[in-house]
Structure 1
């Protein structure tokens, strides 16, 4: 049985690090003041231990699959959760509208980061006399806006097929710096909104419990309802079982489709297991519709599903930070830092400016979009949790819609042009990605007009109140 422990111990290490990270966050004054989540502390601690070889028999690769599946689980459980009360009052159009705002920011970021990274790397070449391919700067958009997996995928493709030296390694470095930027900048921004009470969820405040990281005994909230009798099955096991059903259906669906689309490059990518979460959250949305339509909602506790979502995000963050191996290229360190700093600043300014235009939930959308555009969707969800601790606003649902919308909207750039970017030529590449960013930004007046018409149809006495 000894051979069966490797994966289990990898998970146990993550859980132990979460305990250590949470305790450090509550005991060290400078960590409490920074409001950095315990999962980030745990992930950084695990990364340092792995880098120093202090966890014998384990390396970053042992945590890659765990990061992928916890990321997938977090969104599948979110989509299996019923609509929050605020979202129900605002209506489905509000969730779609908010999701479109997030999609607009992400799409503009994908194109804008590519152009800015390309320009900064080309500028560094001109000033320093280095002969670096500007696409090494452009790949920042895949590391920041998409994450480690996509940066590694496109970087490896550019490196092996088109000879862009070190593209994969640089992409992973940018992805790592993106996570750092998401929390080094995103947490203070979220804290700014919290201190000024600009968030809608009044349960998320800078109170003593928030700062300490643990609830005082007299203020410990209840979490979930028992919907099953323990003589039959434990309620938590029941909810995990529902997610298991969705996982199996999604796996069977992809396994069925892959042979049918094997000859089509675009469809084979879309139906690959790398995009399991897209299909999984769709399955969960359909399952929830069936549950509600059949009157079975009393057999599902939304608070329990929220705890599964929130816990999965914590494990995903730890696993992601432990799975990223940063190989520092000394010769490229300066241009990489220049590109990363420039992209972080512009992304922040864009998220704040557009988030402010998006309406009542602007602060929540700002931090969520910034997290998504610097780390991953899970990073955005973690930053959102600071402003919306129990996911009671409509933004989590907007984020689920957004994950489908960005794939549909960006099919040309993600599936057609990004894989062959080195063959496009400088001006063609800049025109495509820059044009996408401009097109996204040009939709702001249209989205604002739709939002005003939607808000005008909501009577004052039905206006959603903070929860």
Structure 2
């Protein structure tokens, strides 16, 4: 009886073990240490390799998907329970404004990557006569900006309903390559920002402890304060209990709404998908925001330790990244390797240039937004958080909360694509497809000047700053 319960626990133990091995390899191997590769990436790649060669008996990639999903959810819910930073010098202004910058960058990238992928494959066909479906290029945007889950979802629909051969497998390849690109390009970019002193959180600096991945005994920082007396309840268990309450509320809410909105559609779109358990983290974010507001309004903020919540967020990200890599199966299609690499390189270059440019326009915390946006546009939201953590080690800036707002906002800016057009893309035809995706990118590109004006209108005038400084 008990034997059957061990499979999931051992899967979790394998994730933890790979993180431990990754941290040791980072500490001991100069290449990893100097490249600043995070332990989660090293451990994840090690786990992926062991699974690929079937060196972990009884386990396969799919065994880690559920754990990865819940650690992703937990990372953002704990982040939204965390209070606002008390260090005003680390704030980039309005969380909404910063979140809108991330939202516009990602939305523009979603449309532009799809157009680039479609056009690159079309050009490749014209030059070689290969006859590859352009939709195998278009699906790059779902692999890069959304990750393996959405790439599999849309690719599977295109394959089953519209006969686009290998769409799901190619989508997985793009997702895997996008994830690797996010680190191969993003880690050196973050490294460069830190060396130039462009990061706002100066706690993140490249010293020997940063490189080795471990603190020296005499320089270990505090990781939080005790809230509950250990004779009553351990403080970590107390904070996990807060998150458990948020989980339960979210689960009950989704279960209730699924019954109420079952089979309800508007404009041919089944709205019940908005209350799917796959979107648990989005509803969980809202629940945690409300919970934190109630806690603060009731004067109970002293009963919540933000540093402990940050440690839960950071740990969840580590488990999520290693789990994601161990969940991916590389289905290498040798016949399509050249066009896939062409699409990947082109999309990466355009995305990198766009993130750097728009990050600079966003003002304070521009480097943090650029690196975070690049991670999100090439891997996943979790990848963006991991790259951000290199520049903002303890999540003290406002960018992590901007990222939480971003995850809600993109539902509205890309609703027409993700919930209506994406599943039926092959039926649109080339010109209609380009109009929808390019039109989306151009529309939100035109919104950039409006956001810059919003930035200017919310920036205090020099006279105002002088008056405030004299008070």
TM-score in terms of structure 2 length: 0.96
**Change in CA separation of 1:463 and 1:436 when aligned onto 2, cut-off 3 Å:** farther
Q: 2:359·2:370 contact (CA, 8 Å) conserved in 1?
A: yes
User: What are the equivalent positions in structure 2 for 1:79-118 lying under 5 Å apart?
Assistant: 79-86=80-87, 94-118=94-118
State yes or no: 1:319 paired with 2:320: no
Q: Which secondary structure state, in structure 1, belongs to the residue aligned with residue 423 of structure 2?
A: coil
5+ long unaligned stretches in structure 2: none
Residue range with higher mean Cα deviation, 385-394 or 261-270: 261-270
Corresponding residue number in structure 2 for 1:305: 309
Q: 1:87·1:95 contact (CA, 8 Å) conserved in 2?
A: no
State yes or no: 1:68 paired with 2:69: yes
Q: Shift of the alpha carbon at 1:456?
A: 2.5
User: What are the equivalent positions in structure 2 for 1:256-405 lying under 5 Å apart?
Assistant: 256-263=256-263, 264=265, 265-405=269-409
Q: Which secondary structure state, in structure 1, belongs to the residue aligned with residue 438 of structure 2?
A: helix
Corresponding residue number in structure 2 for 1:17: 18
5+ long unaligned stretches in structure 1: none
Corresponding residue number in structure 1 for 2:39: 38
Q: 1:89·1:462 contact (CA, 8 Å) conserved in 2?
A: no
- Residue 406 of structure 1 is aligned with which of 404, 410, 435? 410
Corresponding residue number in structure 2 for 1:169: 169
Counterpart-to-counterpart distance in 2, 1:281 and 1:426: 37
Corresponding residue number in structure 1 for 2:58: 57
Counterpart-to-counterpart distance in 2, 1:103 and 1:78: 18
Counterpart-to-counterpart distance in 1, 2:208 and 2:164: 51
Counterpart-to-counterpart distance in 2, 1:347 and 1:75: 24
Corresponding residue number in structure 1 for 2:226: 226
Q: 1:266·1:416 contact (CA, 8 Å) conserved in 2?
A: no
Q: 1:182·1:371 contact (CA, 8 Å) conserved in 2?
A: yes
Residue range with higher mean Cα deviation, 79-88 or 212-221: 79-88
Q: Shift of the alpha carbon at 1:455?
A: 1.5
Counterpart-to-counterpart distance in 1, 2:227 and 2:293: 19
User: What are the equivalent positions in structure 2 for 1:136-147 lying under 5 Å apart?
Assistant: 136-147=136-147
Q: 2:90·2:396 contact (CA, 8 Å) conserved in 1?
A: no
Q: Shift of the alpha carbon at 1:208?
A: 1.3
Q: Which secondary structure state, in structure 2, belongs to the residue aligned with residue 85 of structure 1?
A: coil
Q: 1:261·1:268 contact (CA, 8 Å) conserved in 2?
A: yes
TM-score in terms of structure 1 length: 0.97
Corresponding residue number in structure 1 for 2:244: 244
Give deviations 1:284-343, integer Å, cap 9, x for gaps. Answer: 000000111111111100000000000000000000000010111111111111101110
Counterpart-to-counterpart distance in 2, 1:461 and 1:216: 43
Q: Shift of the alpha carbon at 1:384?
A: 0.2
Q: 1:60·1:322 contact (CA, 8 Å) conserved in 2?
A: yes
Q: Which secondary structure state, in structure 2, belongs to the residue aligned with residue 455 of structure 1?
A: coil
Corresponding residue number in structure 1 for 2:27: 26
State yes or no: 1:455 paired with 2:459: yes
Q: 1:87·1:94 contact (CA, 8 Å) conserved in 2?
A: no
Give deviations 1:393-443, integer Å, cap 9, x for gaps. Answer: 000010000000001111111111111111111111101100110111111
Q: 1:355·1:362 contact (CA, 8 Å) conserved in 2?
A: yes
Counterpart-to-counterpart distance in 2, 1:87 and 1:448: 22
Counterpart-to-counterpart distance in 1, 2:341 and 2:217: 45
Q: Shift of the alpha carbon at 1:133?
A: 1.1
- Residue 440 of structure 2 is aligned with which of 410, 430, 436? 436
Q: Shift of the alpha carbon at 1:178?
A: 0.6
Provide the alpha-carbon RMSD of the alignment: 1.6
Q: Shift of the alpha carbon at 1:87?
A: 6.3
Q: Which secondary structure state, in structure 2, belongs to the residue aligned with residue 456 of structure 1?
A: coil
Q: Shift of the alpha carbon at 1:261?
A: 2.0
Counterpart-to-counterpart distance in 2, 1:444 and 1:305: 34
